[in-house]
Structure 1
Amino acid sequence: MERPITVPEAAVYNDADKEWLFGETNENNQRVGPWKIWHIEGYLWVAIDYRDGIPPYPTQRFHPDGTVSQDGEWYGGDKYVGPLRLIKSDNPTPEYFPPDNADNVWAAEFDYVDEFIYNAQRYFDKENNEVSSDGDPLPARPQNVPARAHFIRGAYSATNWVMGTVDTRIANYIGEYFEWDLDGNPVVKRLYSDSGRVLEDYKYTNGVLSSSNVYDKDVPKDSETCYYYSGTATPVVKTRIVYRSQEKDVTNIYFDKTGRELYSVRREQLSPVHKRRYFNGELVCEGHLSDDKFSFPESAVYYASGGGTLIDFTNNGDGTGTWRLYDAAGQVLRHLTITEDSDDHFQLIRWDAFIPSWGGYEVNTARTDWESVVMLFNRNYDELNAKVKLYALEVPAYLQKELDAIDWETIDAYHSSGGAELPIGINGMLSEDEAVADVAEKMLWPEIEQQGCVYASTYKVATILARMIPHYQHLPAVPQRLGKFLYTILDLRYITEQNDLYKELIGAIAPLEPMLLQWAVSDNADMARMAQYILMYSGNEATEQFLLDEWQNTDHSSTRRGYAIYSLSGFYVVREQRNKLLTTYATAVGTEGDAFVRFVLAAQLVLLTGTEAQESWLTDLLHALANHEALDDDYGNMMPFIGDIYNVHEYILAVLRQSRPDVLEKEIEPIIDGLPAMSTLNQVSYLQTIFAVLFNDETALEDMTPIRKKALLTAADVVAKNPGFVNLLEVFRAYGLPHDAYALRQIAEV
């Protein structure tokens, strides 16, 4: 082998490893003292100090450009103990450096405790400043976070400080593992096996234990999961879930806040076709299933507490099956015979048809499974019998005339053939029997509304029912039922979409104004508000005057006056009389003495005028926001005007977001101050308002005013506590801000 000119004459070539060696050995032919190794290409590759031949040996490796690539204490073979430092090069190199690190991470250190195993890692920039694995400067290390822990950025995880032992052979943690947030609160604690499998997993929320999983070391799927109460001085289990037999045997145990066991439920699968359910350790029901999961079970039995048969199922072998309910003496109380192919009875072909759903239990569940079983059986029995009555009802001539005017076979409904039974449902809505009417309504809704969508059938069904009301004044329950139905129809988001059909519907309701005005002053507040809502769409001058009188009558409650304002707002908007609304409310808001009524007026004015809203109206809303708790009860009675926004402060924020940022920026600090104390869902609306006011301009981050800095630091605290909440992530993304506590703090401090 030709010797490169950089390799000393005394160096010996090792053909096996393709390298040049130089160093001394002792009388036992053991390497001692400094040794050097040159790469076959001629550059100094490795320097090892064997000292007296006893490890550890200080060792360095080099890049082709002569700079150090690795520095550590070598024990021979693949074993290093203590810090092992790896360093990048400015030039091309074959030397290893851990992947997936930021460009400005220049060096990495790993503290090895055994061959292939390290328990700490650190990262440095080119100036040897310690940084995160992402190359960012390190934040202050909380006092309780050990020096071994390293810092990582976790945009979608609560992890900021991490400490654990890694086995590089399996590329996973072993032994104890810990995570802390930026403030030093525990986030996760785990115990890994030597193979890297999680044996114990503890999760914390705001530093308090919230859940735990302990896995069987021999049977991976056998485990115990606990969820804990929040707000207790010490952890108290709320629910314990015990998995056994490869998750085929599961027991849920529920506890009160003192730790006292409330009850337990258990499901057991003895085979794919033999299943059981238990309550407080007693067998409640079991089923022997058929091989076809869509067919009747072979048999099913429900047991009374203490033993006897409560319900059983007989497969009649002819496509029908019979459920029987027994009394304590074994006598049949009721029986249900159903067919295997009845879509509307699909639930009743299940062996567990009368047992509560597995996910339906809570710590406040008071009913025993035996009570639930009887209740569910009777409910289904009553519903099936009500359906028999429904199909047997005669159709009045005045209804038949309306029904005959429509082709129900081809009408637009959710299912292409769904309109065929709509006449039956319409007729049932007119029944004196509430059970029959309930079944009829359940028949109608799946065909006339789906996830907010409406169809031609929606309008036609509602129109016919509106025309039926005058025929049933002698049966007050029927008009009230139909009025509630119309109220729900008019509250559908897209009900005004099909203009001609909508006009026909309103035309059918309009003659009912006198009756609705009577309902609107009913002592039954729900009926009164329902009537006002319908009148908002269908009323005339009498309705307008009524709503004005309701609002301006100071003897009425805040709720009653506020609801009248909402209804009157809708009345004007529906009729495109916005100027009338503006003039009427703007004149009144300045002199209104009732805090809730003033808030409603101001909110309606801001929604109407948006960025042209008067500063005094915005000030009214900000005062309402600061004192929102005093408005909560009245606000809760404003359904359906408030939609899905069930909290008054959230509603106010939604209104403010549509107004004037120049005014709000002066007054935004109380909103920022209130952010940390809000629930996670409420924080979404708070942040939307804060960001809309302070960061709507893409150049806002270039002008880091004190209020913007405060907003970012407060937002960082929110993210640190709940970094995985997707709704918050969307808010940050909309304004080009990082959903990462550390990054937000860095931006704020620049």
Structure 2
Amino acid sequence: MQRPAHIPENAVYNEQSAQWTLGATNGDGQRIGHWKIWYGQEYLWMAIAYGDGTPPFRFQRFHPDGTLSEEADMNGNDKFIGTVRHIKSDNPTIEPFTGGPADKVANIWIAEFDFLEEDIYNAQRFFDRHNNPLNIDGTPLSKRPASVPANAHFVRMPYSATSWIGGTFNVRIMKCVGEYGEWDLNGDPVVKRLHGASGELIEEYKYDNGKLSNSRLYDKDSLVQSFYYREIEPAVVKNRTVYRNNQNDVESTYFDETGKQLFSVRKEEISKLHKRRYFNGQLVSEGTLTSDKENPTASARYYYPNGATLIDFIANDDGTGTWRLYDVDGQQVQEIPIAAEGDYKLKKWDTFMPVWADYSVKSTDTDSEAVTAQFKKAYKNYLTTQKLQALEVPAPLQAELEKINWETIDTSYGGNEGLPTAVNGMLSEDEDVADMSNGQIWMQIEHQGSVYESTYKIAGIMARMLPLYNHLPIVQLRLGRFLFRVLRLYQIREDEQLYTELTSSFEQALPHIIQWATGPDWETARIAQYILIHAGQKEATESLLMQEWQNTSYSAERRGYAIFSLGTIYIISGQNEQLVNVFSAAFITETNAFLRFAMAAHLVLATGEAAQDSWLAELLFVLADDEPIYYDFGSMIPFTNDGDVQRYIIALLGKAHPDTLEKNIEPVIEALPTVNALKKVTFFNAIFQVLFEDPSALEDITPIRKKALLLASEEVKKDPGFINRKEVFDAYGLPHDAFALRQLAGER
């Protein structure tokens, strides 16, 4: 090989590596002194100081432009030990940097890794070209809390409270080995793990606000998972679950706050066709299964604590079977025959067993008690079904049923054939029969707010039946409640023809409904008043509701309901001006908190961005503290959908002028930490909607916006994985990251 001019005369060419090397060896062939290695025919690539041949050896590596790329100490096996330093170059280079996320951060120029032994490091650090320390994302190095070990480095991870990470990492197998930890911004632990030499997870501990919340201990044959009581120090196990035999054998044990065992439950899969359940170590039930998906159980048996048979099931060859309940002496008490096309749930061997996820430290019943109660419930359902099927159909109802083609009528789940029987059941004096019928009807006429032709037709039948049952007030009231529930459906007005047909069917029932609406029983009156909004004569209904509102002998709840009803009539009929005239004058003098809120809500709804400051201030005041109106507002559900006052107010605020809202938002910000997790989503949405609806707001961090951002940072730190809340942040272009929120607010 021809020697390039820049390579010294005494350098040797290595055919195998295609490199020129220069250096000496001692009598044993061991490298000594200063060695150099050139990259092919090109540039000085490496330099190693072997000294007298005793490690450590100082190693250096270079970029093509001659600047230092890497330096470290090596042991006798050519493995790094101690601190390894990587340096970027201003010029094109083939030299790698770290191979990690820091490579893409422009102002990170230097990276250091501390190697404990061959291939294993436990710390990493980053610097700019002037040796100023940085975080791995290129931001100035964060202040390390005293509780965070020196080898941990600062990171920000999506959906994680982690701010600091420390552990040992094997670069050869690209896995963590030994101890690993994560800490939040305040230095409280988030996760601690112990890994084996091959990277396998041996132990894992997770923390919530610095308190141990759950742990997992692994070995080759089992997994032990424990959950702990909150705020008890030292930590006390709440429940512990042991998984064995590839999770075919699972046992959960529950403890009280002193650590005393309450009970244990276990499920065991002997084989795919033989399963068992245990309570406190005693066999409770077992099933022999089949491969037939339609008839999955061949036999099942449940046991008393003394081992006697409590319940059994025997399947027949034709797909039928029978469940039987026995007393402690072995005498049959009840039986439930199962038809070939019967309820699939009753063909499952563990149908009466408690659902595994329902066990908790609050559970009080033994499994034997629970399965007995479930059997009796199923038996009652069986008897009720027999009664329903045996009911005679009254002639007026039969005439109504014959007007409808039940084979083609539109329903949610296609259970058309059973609807006539269920409608008949609604007229029964037997409450169990009526409840079953009601459930069967609702499954077919409504699904997640959607309505169907059957919704209107069946409600029309109920309305026409109502005046025929003066002799059975309990049936009349049941029909009224059913109609109230139908008219509450959000989409009920969408099909104008069917809706008009339905409201017309109330004509004969109106005298009864008006009588209810003005009667002393408030629960019945509120149902009737809502029906009248849809089906009553407008002028008469408006007059009735005005009297209800003005009657000071009534409760604020009843008077407020009248305000909501009146407001609805005005808005539906396009009388926004009339609404403002009626409510604005009364709002000024009203002192009752709920009545003021009810009027303010409808005034904002009717006026939008023209809403007066005093009306908006009233809503924001309630948003921050809903306690004074909480119970009264709960009765307004027909008008407010789900009864959540915060969600209701936020919908109204979206129609108002942002400047007025921003002036009054501070009490809402201050109240956010005190509400539960689900309401926090609502509060965040309200605060961000007011303060950050305009993207330019992020470039003008006013004091109130700074306050909101710092509060958001604290909340994200406490609960970083709440995905629904992250979606609210994303909607307004805000980071769901505690550190980034602090930076946005102008603080580190």
Q: 1:658 to 1:210 in 2, by over 3 A?
A: farther
Contact 1:43 1:64 (C-alpha < 8 Å) held by counterparts: yes
| Structure 1 match to 2:187 | 184
Could you tell me how far 1:154 is from its partner in structure 2? 1.1
Q: 1:407 to 1:97 in 2, by over 3 A?
A: same
| Structure 2 match to 1:435 | 432
Q: 1:696 to 1:160 in 2, by over 3 A?
A: same
Give the Cα–Cα distance (whole angstroms) in 2 for the partners of residues 579 and 668 of structure 1.
28
Q: How does 1:310-349 map to 2 (within 5 A)?
A: 310-342=310-342, 345-349=343-347
Contact 2:464 2:508 (C-alpha < 8 Å) held by counterparts: no
Could you tell me how far 1:275 is from its partner in structure 2? 0.7
Letter in 1 for 2:583: Y
Q: How does 1:160-171 map to 2 (within 5 A)?
A: 160-171=163-174
Letter in 2 for 1:77: N
Letter in 2 for 1:357: V
Give the Cα–Cα distance (whole angstroms) in 2 for the partners of residues 258 and 597 of structure 1.
49
Could you tell me how far 1:92 is from its partner in structure 2? 2.8
| Structure 2 match to 1:459 | 456
Letter in 2 for 1:449: E
| Structure 1 match to 2:114 | 111
| Structure 1 match to 2:368 | 370
Could you tell me how far 1:402 is from its partner in structure 2? 1.1
Letter in 2 for 1:689: A
Q: 2:125 aligns with which of 122, 127, 132?
A: 122
Could you tell me how far 1:521 is from its partner in structure 2? 5.1
> Which runs of 5 or more structure 2 residues have no equivalent in the other structure?
none
Give the Cα–Cα distance (whole angstroms) in 2 for the partners of residues 327 and 696 of structure 1.
67
SS at 1:377 equivalent = helix
Give the Cα–Cα distance (whole angstroms) in 2 for the partners of residues 678 and 707 of structure 1.
20
Contact 1:296 1:321 (C-alpha < 8 Å) held by counterparts: no
Give the Cα–Cα distance (whole angstroms) in 1 for the partners of residues 171 and 135 of structure 2.
20
Give the Cα–Cα distance (whole angstroms) in 1 for the partners of residues 207 and 634 of structure 2.
33
Give the Cα–Cα distance (whole angstroms) in 1 for the partners of residues 209 and 521 of structure 2.
45
Contact 1:50 1:57 (C-alpha < 8 Å) held by counterparts: yes
SS at 2:3 equivalent = coil
Could you tell me how far 1:653 is from its partner in structure 2? 4.0
| Structure 1 match to 2:245 | 245
| Structure 2 match to 1:608 | 606
Give the Cα–Cα distance (whole angstroms) in 1 for the partners of residues 58 and 520 of structure 2.
91
Answering whether residue 725 of structure 2 is matched by residue 728 of structure 1, we say yes
Give the Cα–Cα distance (whole angstroms) in 1 for the partners of residues 519 and 282 of structure 2.
51
Give the Cα–Cα distance (whole angstroms) in 1 for the partners of residues 182 and 377 of structure 2.
50
Give the Cα–Cα distance (whole angstroms) in 2 for the partners of residues 351 and 557 of structure 1.
53
SS at 2:397 equivalent = helix
Q: How does 1:532-551 map to 2 (within 5 A)?
A: 532-540=529-537, 541-551=539-549
Contact 2:467 2:512 (C-alpha < 8 Å) held by counterparts: no
Q: 2:390 aligns with which of 389, 392, 400?
A: 392
Q: 1:510 to 1:658 in 2, by over 3 A?
A: farther
Contact 1:228 1:238 (C-alpha < 8 Å) held by counterparts: yes
Q: 2:491 aligns with which of 490, 494, 497?
A: 494
Could you tell me how far 1:115 is from its partner in structure 2? 0.7
SS at 2:264 equivalent = strand
Contact 1:33 1:52 (C-alpha < 8 Å) held by counterparts: yes
Give the Cα–Cα distance (whole angstroms) in 2 for the partners of residues 368 and 229 of structure 1.
23
Can you list the C-alpha shifts for 1:643-672, whole angstroms capped at 9, x where unaligned? 2353x4454344334322111212222222
| Structure 2 match to 1:421 | 418
Contact 1:654 1:685 (C-alpha < 8 Å) held by counterparts: no
Q: How does 1:198-237 map to 2 (within 5 A)?
A: 198-215=201-218, 217-219=219-221, 222-237=222-237
Give the Cα–Cα distance (whole angstroms) in 1 for the partners of residues 572 and 471 of structure 2.
33
Give the Cα–Cα distance (whole angstroms) in 2 for the partners of residues 627 and 297 of structure 1.
55
Could you tell me how far 1:510 is from its partner in structure 2? 4.6
Contact 1:79 1:115 (C-alpha < 8 Å) held by counterparts: yes
Letter in 2 for 1:182: L
Q: TM-score, normalised on structure 2?
A: 0.95
| Structure 1 match to 2:58 | 58
Give the Cα–Cα distance (whole angstroms) in 1 for the partners of residues 362 and 181 of structure 2.
34
| Structure 1 match to 2:695 | 698
| Structure 2 match to 1:87 | 87
Contact 1:132 1:153 (C-alpha < 8 Å) held by counterparts: no
SS at 1:270 equivalent = strand
Give the Cα–Cα distance (whole angstroms) in 1 for the partners of residues 412 and 122 of structure 2.
61
Give the Cα–Cα distance (whole angstroms) in 1 for the partners of residues 95 and 678 of structure 2.
50
Give the Cα–Cα distance (whole angstroms) in 1 for the partners of residues 32 and 296 of structure 2.
83
SS at 1:298 equivalent = strand
Answering whether residue 482 of structure 2 is matched by residue 480 of structure 1, we say no
With 236-245 and 108-117 compared, the bigger mean Cα shift is at 236-245
Could you tell me how far 1:296 is from its partner in structure 2? 4.3
The RMSD of aligned alpha carbons is 2.0
Q: 1:365 to 1:573 in 2, by over 3 A?
A: farther
Answering whether residue 593 of structure 2 is matched by residue 559 of structure 1, we say no
Give the Cα–Cα distance (whole angstroms) in 2 for the partners of residues 185 and 533 of structure 1.
54
Can you list the C-alpha shifts for 1:542-592, whole angstroms capped at 9, x where unaligned? 432332222222232222222222222223333333322222111111111
Letter in 1 for 2:587: V
Letter in 1 for 2:191: V
Q: 1:669 aligns with which of 666, 680, 685?
A: 666
| Structure 2 match to 1:269 | 269
SS at 2:80 equivalent = coil
Could you tell me how far 1:189 is from its partner in structure 2? 1.0
Could you tell me how far 1:210 is from its partner in structure 2? 1.7
Q: 1:413 to 1:257 in 2, by over 3 A?
A: same
| Structure 2 match to 1:518 | 515
Give the Cα–Cα distance (whole angstroms) in 2 for the partners of residues 494 and 601 of structure 1.
25
Give the Cα–Cα distance (whole angstroms) in 1 for the partners of residues 655 and 724 of structure 2.
20
Could you tell me how far 1:172 is from its partner in structure 2? 1.2
Give the Cα–Cα distance (whole angstroms) in 2 for the partners of residues 495 and 456 of structure 1.
10
Letter in 1 for 2:350: D
Letter in 2 for 1:334: Q
Q: 1:209 to 1:563 in 2, by over 3 A?
A: farther
| Structure 2 match to 1:401 | 399
Give the Cα–Cα distance (whole angstroms) in 2 for the partners of residues 338 and 670 of structure 1.
60
Contact 1:23 1:35 (C-alpha < 8 Å) held by counterparts: yes
| Structure 2 match to 1:154 | 157
SS at 2:497 equivalent = helix
Contact 1:300 1:351 (C-alpha < 8 Å) held by counterparts: yes
Could you tell me how far 1:639 is from its partner in structure 2? 2.4
Matched-pair identity in %? 52
Give the Cα–Cα distance (whole angstroms) in 2 for the partners of residues 82 and 530 of structure 1.
78
Q: 1:236 to 1:488 in 2, by over 3 A?
A: farther
Letter in 2 for 1:691: F
Give the Cα–Cα distance (whole angstroms) in 2 for the partners of residues 238 and 521 of structure 1.
53
Can you list the C-alpha shifts for 1:137-168, whole angstroms capped at 9, x where unaligned? 33222221112101112122222210110111
Answering whether residue 10 of structure 2 is matched by residue 17 of structure 1, we say no
Answering whether residue 283 of structure 2 is matched by residue 300 of structure 1, we say no
Can you list the C-alpha shifts for 1:668-695, whole angstroms capped at 9, x where unaligned? 2222222333332222222212222221
Answering whether residue 193 of structure 2 is matched by residue 195 of structure 1, we say no
Q: 1:98 to 1:511 in 2, by over 3 A?
A: farther
Give the Cα–Cα distance (whole angstroms) in 1 for the partners of residues 159 and 41 of structure 2.
46
Contact 1:336 1:381 (C-alpha < 8 Å) held by counterparts: yes
Contact 2:287 2:301 (C-alpha < 8 Å) held by counterparts: yes
| Structure 2 match to 1:30 | 30
Contact 1:78 1:115 (C-alpha < 8 Å) held by counterparts: no
Could you tell me how far 1:60 is from its partner in structure 2? 0.5
Contact 1:189 1:203 (C-alpha < 8 Å) held by counterparts: yes
SS at 1:126 equivalent = coil
Answering whether residue 677 of structure 2 is matched by residue 680 of structure 1, we say yes
SS at 1:50 equivalent = strand
Give the Cα–Cα distance (whole angstroms) in 1 for the partners of residues 311 and 439 of structure 2.
27
Letter in 1 for 2:622: A
Q: TM-score, normalised on structure 1?
A: 0.95
SS at 1:633 equivalent = helix
Could you tell me how far 1:360 is from its partner in structure 2? 2.0
